[in-house]
Chain A
Amino acid sequence: MTLRDTINRLLGLQRASATTARERLQLVLAHDRSDLNPELLEQMRREILEVVSRYVEIDLDEVDVSLETEDRVTALVANLPIRRAKAVAQPGVKANISLGVKEPGLATGNAPGSPEPEGPSSTEGDADAATAAEAEKPAAQASQPEPAAETASLEGSESLS
């Protein structure tokens, strides 16, 4: 470390290079490990929403789907706040979908208590569900004082090791 580096560090002008190294590594490894490009992730997000929307009404503005890595396990974490359950699904049931990906090529998806995707044929249904959700928004807020109380948490951190 040069004198200049030391002074900069003491003054808080420069961060320790080890911290920068760690952060850069964690970011690059999350992508290396998942082998998913942003386009595929977006497609998956749309399809997950499509399936879940058939059963529950989701707050589309609050939806969050992202990749997180911990202990060599990359997890797809999706937070889907439920406005209210539809007639077909039992009210008050938490939707829980786990999609733990240990390594590229070893993708396992298990979805306890959640429906299996039925293929790409249901795009129409999705559009309907989305419009229905939009249309019913005010009604839902009026009839249910706590619409955000139920949250469908799509969380996967199941370790395969």
Chain B
Amino acid sequence: MTPHRTRNILICSGKGGVGKTTLTANLGIALARQGVRTAVLDADFGLRNLDLLLGLENRIVFTAQEVLAGSCRLEQALVKHKQEPNLALLPAGNPRMLEWLKPEDMQAIVGMLAPSFDVVLIDCPAGIEDGFKNAVSAAQEAIVITTPEVSAVRDADRVIGLLNTHGIQPIQLVLNRVRPKMMANQEMLSVNDVTDILALPLLGLVVEDEQVIVSTNRGEPLTLSGSHSPAALAYSNVARRLQGEDVPLPDPAKMGRGLRAKLSRLIKTKIF
């Protein structure tokens, strides 16, 4: 038996609203479905939302802070997902006890999770201030998510610089909200533009997909329902690549175009 080593993966972007939490929720479910014992740690405790995207908002009683303070056990703070028992959510902190948490605390939290999980996904808060520093101190590797917009790419670049100074390795890129048609018309930064500028290996490409909003409304990540929507497929592929599987990246020029793609989407669409 190989010695157990938990991967602590930071999911960050710098800029807010580019899809960190959506990626964390979907990647968490996808990994769990692939049999990986996964914990998702919401490091954005000031404005936490991971619970909402996973549909677990009514089940949080304790947070990691209470565990560290000794007022409850880890098992009491972990919120297990009902449909996907391989996945558990741990909110890092209580919004009312904010100033309490330090980088050492975050390290202690991932240390507590290590014996029971293969992967810990750390959902990083936006920005590069204390919340980011706390979250990064607990991670060894990172996924940077960005969109093909100048502001998001600039902020991602800033974050990558900080990850480098923290010795985080590997750092991989997920490009979110890709609009193939705009890219084809050169009205949006291309995939190559972004990967050239940021100089990171591409872990995934997610097309703009309305189903993401629908799934957020319901609190059921796309990867949970076995949906065949483009974003669901993209998130599952990110999970597979993260596990070392060689899944080819789609060509944005061919995404969502052509009769065949349209037909196959029609066939896969669930009627009920």
Contact = CB atoms under 8 A, between A and B. Distances in A.
Q: Binding site of A, secondary structure by majority: helix, strand, loop or mixed? A: helix
B190 A18 contact: yes
Given A103-B165, A105-B165, A25 B186 contact: no
B157 interface: yes
B128 to A, nearest CB: 12
A22 interface: yes
A104 B187 contact: no
B190 A29 contact: no
B154 interface: yes
B147 to A, nearest CB: 12
B154 A16 contact: no
A17 B189 CA distance: 8
Interface residues of A, number: 22
Chain B interface extent, by class: 20 to 34
Contact of A18 (B186, B197, B198): B186
Contacts of B160: 72
Interface in B159-195: 160-161, 164-165, 183, 185-190, 193
A64 B185 CA distance: 38
A28 B154 contact: yes
A106 B165 CA distance: 8
Contacts of A54: none
A139 interface: no
Contacts of B188: 17-18
Contacts of B97: none
Given A32-B157, A103-B164, A106-B165, A26 B197 contact: yes
B199 interface: yes
Contacts of B153: 25
A83 interface: no
B228 interface: no
A5 to B, nearest CB: 8
B164 A22 contact: no
Given A21-B150, A22-B197, A25-B153, A1 B158 contact: no
A33 interface: yes
A72 B186 contact: no
B165 A29 contact: no
Nearest to A72: B199
18 contacts: A1-B187, A16-B185, A17-B186, A17-B187, A18-B190, A19-B186, A21-B189, A21-B193, A25-B154, A25-B197, A29-B154, A29-B157, A32-B157, A32-B158, A102-B164, A103-B165, A105-B165, A161-B164
